[in-house]
Structure 1
Amino acid sequence: MGDRDRDEESGKFTEEYPPQDFLKALDELGPSGTTDISNYIGCDRRTAYLKLKSLEEEGEVRSRKVGNSLLWELND
């Protein structure tokens, strides 16, 4: 894992994979599976799934089941 940066003012660690990375990935890739997105970002598949699920709960993305996989896409 890469080094994590600390915010100079708050002293808190910055997020290693911010939500914006996932939104950008979907914007560039179009509707994609969890593995494709994790490969694009360079994170673990489980990390990608949890981030995407969180974004789905916030209404930023949606998923649909295609076969045994989830296909993620940006909400309009």
Structure 2
Amino acid sequence: MADRDRDEESGKFTEEYPPQEFLDAIAELGPSGTTDISDYVGCDRRTAYLKLKSLEEEGEVRSRKVGNSLLWELAE
């Protein structure tokens, strides 16, 4: 496993892919598929999907089915 950064105060590991990176990706790319977002952030597709689903549950992004893919966009 690669070395991960720890928070100096708590000693906990910091998030490798903070949610803001996914929001920034959608802001930059516009409505995009999971693979495009994962490529932009630099993570695997599954990690991107799970993070985007979490952001959707929080009301930050929304998804819609287009063909066999999900298209992600920022919530208004």
TM-score normalised according to structure 1 size: 0.96
Extract unaligned runs of 5+ from structure 1.
Answer: none
Q: How many residues align?
A: 76
Shift of 1:2: 4.4
Match of 2:13 in 1: 13
Match of 1:35 in 2: 35
Deviation per CA, 1:24-72, whole angstroms, max 9, x where unpaired?
0000000000000000001010000000000000000000000000000
Aligned Cα root-mean-square deviation (Å) = 0.9
Match of 2:67 in 1: 67
2-structure distance, mates of 1:44, 1:65 = 20
> Identity rate of aligned residues, in percent?
88
Q: 1:2 to 1:26 in 2, by over 3 A?
A: farther
Match of 1:57 in 2: 57
SS class of match (2:22): helix
